[in-house]
Amino acid sequence: MNKTIIKIDKTIIKIIKKVNNMTDSRPSKFVKESSLINYKIAMPEDSNPGNENVNGGRVLQLIDNVAGISALRHCRTRTVTASIDKMDFIYPIKVGELMILSASVNHVFGQSMEVGVRVEVENLRTGDRHTTGKAYLTFLAVDQEGQPIKVPFLVEPETETEKRRYKEAEARRKLRLEQRELLG
Ligand SMILES: CC(C)(COP(=O)(O)OP(=O)(O)OC[C@H]1O[C@@H](n2cnc3c(N)ncnc32)[C@H](O)[C@@H]1OP(=O)(O)O)[C@@H](O)C(=O)NCCC(=O)NCCS
C-alpha cells in the first residue's frame, strides 16, 4: 500500500517537473564560462608530517575550492557542495612541484550540477607533467535560506572533450541516484 502511494507520488513529481521544464526560462551557459585553472606550488605546510608528500586532505580541499569557483561562475549565485565522488590518488605530489587544478561544469541537472576537476603536477625543473587525480563533485545552487534552486542550463557541449564529459556525467548521475536509492 505504502509502496503504491510512493510510486504515485514519484509519478506526480515527474509530471510537475516536466511541466516546469516546458515553462522553464533559466539562462543557458557555455562550459567555457565555468572553466578555470588554479595553480599552486606544493609547500612544506601542505605535506604529511614526516615526509615530503602532499597530504590527501589538502588536495581535496584545493579540489573543493576550485570546483566551488567553477560552480559559482556557472550559477552566479550561492552554491554548496552536496557530494564528492570517490577520489583516487594515482601518484604522490611532492613538495616543490606545481599543482595544476582544472575545473569545469560537466553537466547540469535540475538543482544540481556536476563539476569535474583534473589535478596535474609539473616538475618545475624538468617540465615533466602528469595527471595525479580526477574528482567529480555535485554542487547545488541555493537561495539565501539554503534551499535548493534551479541551476542555469548548459548549452550543448561544443568540443569532443566537453561532449565526452557530458555523456560520462550522465552515467555517473545515474549511478549516484541508484546508490542513494539503495543505500539512502
Ligand atoms: C545539499 C543540500 C542542499 C540538499 O538538500 P535536499 O533538500 O536534501 O535536496 P533534495 O533532496 O531536494 O535534492 C535537490 C537536488 O540535489 C541533489 N542532491 C541532494 N543530495 C545530494 C547528494 N548527497 N549528492 C548528490 N546530489 C544530491 C538531488 O539529486 C537533486 O538534484 P536535481 O534537482 O538536479 O535532480 C543539503 O543536504 C545541504 O544543505 N547540505 C549541506 C551542504 C554543505 O554545507 N556543504 C558544504 C560542506 S560543509
Q: What is the pLDDT of residues 79-102, one digit of tens each?
A: 999 999 988 899 999 999 999 999
Cα–Cα distances in angstroms (integers) from residue 53 to residues 74, 91, 98, 149, in the given order? 33, 10, 13, 40
Answer whether residue 2 is part of any domain.
no
108: domain range? 27-183
Q: How many residues does the chain have?
A: 184
Would you say residue 114 has pLDDT above 70?
yes
The residues facing 122 across adjacent strands are: 98, 129
Buried b / exposed e over 146-170, threshold 16 CB at 10 Å, is eeeebbbebeebeeeebeebbeebe
Residue 146 resides in a domain: yes
Q: Does a structural domain hold residue 9? A: no
Of 39, 43, 51, 59, the C-alpha closest to 99 is 39
Do 172 and 114 contact (CB within 8 A), yes or no? yes
Question: CATH no. for residue 176?
Answer: 3.10.129.10
- Mean of per-residue pLDDT scores for the chain: 92
Contact yes or no for 110/64 (Cβ under 8 A): no
Mean pLDDT of 61-83: 98
- Percent of the residues in the chain that have a pLDDT greater than 90, as a whole number: 82
User: Quick check: is 18 in a domain?
Assistant: no
User: Ligand 1: which residue has its CA nearest to atom 3?
Assistant: 148
What is the mean predicted confidence (pLDDT) over 123-152? 97
Instruction: Establish if 5 belongs to a structural domain.
Output: no
CA of 135 to the centre of ligand 1 (A): 18
Residue 80 included in any domain: yes
Distance 55 CA to ligand 1 centre (A): 27
Q: What is the pTM of this model?
A: 0.88
Structural domain contains residue 3: no
Q: Are strands 153-154 and 28-29 parallel, antiparallel or unpaired?
A: parallel
How many domains does the chain contain in total?
Answer: 1
Residue 73 has pLDDT above 80, yes or no: yes
From the number of C-beta atoms within 10 Å of its C-beta (0-12, 13-18, 19+), residue 173 rates as middle
The model's confidence at residue 18, banded by pLDDT at 50, 70 and 90, is low
140/123 Cα distance (integer angstroms): 35
140, 154, 176, best to mutate for ligand 1 pocket (most atoms within 8 Å of CB): 140
Q: 114 CA distance to ligand 1 centroid (A)?
A: 12
The pLDDT assigned to 17 comes to 58
pLDDT confidence of residue 163:
97
Burial of 140 (0-12, 13-18, 19+ CB in 10 A): buried
- Ligand 1 near 79 CB (within 6 A): no
20 in any annotated domain: no
Question: Does the pLDDT value for residue 40 go beyond 90?
Answer: yes
State the distance from the centre of ligand 1 to the C-alpha of 96, rounded, in angstroms.
37
Angle at 11 between CA 180 and CA 113, to 5 degrees: 45
Cβ proximity of 175 and 113 under 8 Å: no
65 has a pLDDT exceeding 90: yes
Distance (Å, whole) CA 37 – CA 101: 6
